[in-house]
């Protein structure tokens, strides 16, 4: 079996048993101990596709039931492959795939306003109930912040919002722009906790409806509002700008456009906090399966690409922090919640088995990417002037400690 031969050359850790379409078992043992997984490939064409186009075929085969895991689940299989990914990425077909994606990424990431809205709708305008089954109550759909790695998702997401707020140097009455405002959690948190005036812009009609309702129900509509608007169409100036989990949808060809607009939107003494997924290696392409089924137009940049655009526009990167395993833990908790609610998702949200397998593969694959591969999260504090923030970053720690004290006092009462 060709698939078994290919994987036998790259499996350095663990054990993989492949059952082919004829029912024959092919056992592969790596030289180092590790987890053991059995997968069944149900037809010969699927086995060949797994060799020729693995980055697309693995996800599609699992979605369509043409690849199943006999002992364990799809996370166990992806975990085993992730531990051996460095060797897998050196196989000829994977290397060719990477090279081809680099060549065509400018075309794939062309992101004018109309295309941007269609790409957002593909993922964020799904049935509203879906996200309640695996996100926290505030629907924070981005990397949480784990101080110890053991916090429940609700606490870790609250800590994320506070961590970002500490870098924004907020004062009551300031005007804040939230680019990619999602379901409104960040904007509502800043408006309520810090007394700032927030405008959130989103391209998702579903998210706009939820966030606007939340602002009205929370009594914050007088100072927190949301608009269905591309950030490139905003014209006002702001004291602060925050953007969480949106930059991944901009596309590398549009980074200069993005930061030029940020510079226009920021007041002279303004500060921005950009929170986004990135890669810890040179620029590349987007995973083929993820691009086709989950995030069309999406791309996670190398830090070098982002900083180059910031420099060329003439903005200051006043602070940079890299969050490494935080998103792996976030995705682990999301995946566990999704699986525990799988039947309810099918019944209440009306999605079928194929959809559920697609999302299980998405959550598991992304967790593995952050745990073993090249994915990370960066937070970049950006300003127009070099004196817009204090000389040392102690103020961030002080702000978070003060918030933690308040939270603890409220809990004790």
What is the C-alpha separation between 9 and 5, in angstroms, rounded? 7
Q: Is the dihedral of CA 380, 223, 199, 269 positive or negative?
A: negative
Q: Write phi, then psi, for 323 (nearest 5 degrees).
A: -100, 120
What is the C-alpha separation between 337 and 329, in angstroms, rounded? 13
Q: Which residues contact 142 (CB under 8 A, 6 or more apart)?
A: 160, 182, 244, 245, 275
356 is annotated as an active-site residue = no
Q: Taking a C-beta distance cutoff of 8 angstroms, is the pair 281, 304 a contact?
A: no
The residue from 323, 366, 380, 403 that is catalytic is: 366
User: Which residue carries 């036998």 as its tokens?
Assistant: 8
What is the C-alpha separation between 66 and 179, in angstroms, rounded? 40
Q: Taking a C-beta distance cutoff of 8 angstroms, is the pair 380, 320 a contact?
A: yes
What is the C-alpha separation between 226 and 210, in angstroms, rounded? 10
Q: Taking a C-beta distance cutoff of 8 angstroms, is the pair 296, 108 a contact?
A: no
C-alpha to C-alpha distances, 197 to 47, 66, 168, 227, nearest whole angstrom: 56, 52, 14, 14
Q: Where are the alpha helices (DSSP H) in 195-246?
A: 205-217
280 token code pair: 């810890």
What is the C-alpha separation between 201 and 181, in angstroms, rounded? 6
Q: Which of 211, 235, 244, 30 is nearest to 131 (CA)?
A: 211
Q: Write phi, then psi, for 394 (nearest 5 degrees).
A: -55, -30
365 token code pair: 């694959």
- Cα Dmax for the chain: 69
Q: Taking a C-beta distance cutoff of 8 angstroms, is the pair 242, 272 a contact?
A: yes
Q: Taking a C-beta distance cutoff of 8 angstroms, is the pair 230, 116 a contact?
A: yes
Active site residues: 366
């Amino acid at each position: 079996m060709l698939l078994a031969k290919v994987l036998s050359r790259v499996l350095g850790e663990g054990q993989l048993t492949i059952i082919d379409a004829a029912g024959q078992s092919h056992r592969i043992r790596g030289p180092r101990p590790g987890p053991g997984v059995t997968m069944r490939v149900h037809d010969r064409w699927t086995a060949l596709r797994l060799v020729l186009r693995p980055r697309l075929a693995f996800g599609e085969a699992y979605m369509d039931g043409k690849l199943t895991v006999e002992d364990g689940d799809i996370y166990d299989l992806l975990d085993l492959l992730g531990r051996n990914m460095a060797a897998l990425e050196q196989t000829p077909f994977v290397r060719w795939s990477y090279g081809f994606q680099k060549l065509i990424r400018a075309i794939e990431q062309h992101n004018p306003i109309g295309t941007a809205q269609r790409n957002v709708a593909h993922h964020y305008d799904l049935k509203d109930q879906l996200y309640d089954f695996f996100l926290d109550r505030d629907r924070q759909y981005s990397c949480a912040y784990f101080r110890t790695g053991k916090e429940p998702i609700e606490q870790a997401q609250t800590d994320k919002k506070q961590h970002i707020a500490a870098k924004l140097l907020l004062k009551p009455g300031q005007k804040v722009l939230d680019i990619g405002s999602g379901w409104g959690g960040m904007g509502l948190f800043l408006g309520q906790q810090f007394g700032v005036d927030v405008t959130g812009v989103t391209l998702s009609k579903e998210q706009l409806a939820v966030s606007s309702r939340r602002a009205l129900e929370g009594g914050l509509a007088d100072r927190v509002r949301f608009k269905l608007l591309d950030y490139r169409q905003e014209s006002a100036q702001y004291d602060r700008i925050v953007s969480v989990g949106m930059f991944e949808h901009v596309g590398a060809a549009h980074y200069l456009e993005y930061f030029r607009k940020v510079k226009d939107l920021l007041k002279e003494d303004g500060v921005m906090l950009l929170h986004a997924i990135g890669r810890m290696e040179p620029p590349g392409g987007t995973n083929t399966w993820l691009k086709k089924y989950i995030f069309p137009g999406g791309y996670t940049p190398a830090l070098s690409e982002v900083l180059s655009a910031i420099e060329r526009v003439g903005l200051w990167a006043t602070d940079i922090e890299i969050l490494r395993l935080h998103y792996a833990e976030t995705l682990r908790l999301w995946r566990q919640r999704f699986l525990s609610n799988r039947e309810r998702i099918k019944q209440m949200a009306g999605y079928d088995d194929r959809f559920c397998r697609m999302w299980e593969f998405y959550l598991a694959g992304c967790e593995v990417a952050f745990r073993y591969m090249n994915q990370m999260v960066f937070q970049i504090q950006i300003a127009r002037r070099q004196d817009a923030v204090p000389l040392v970053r102690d103020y961030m720690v002080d702000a978070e400690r003060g918030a933690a004290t308040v939270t603890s006092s409220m809990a004790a009462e």
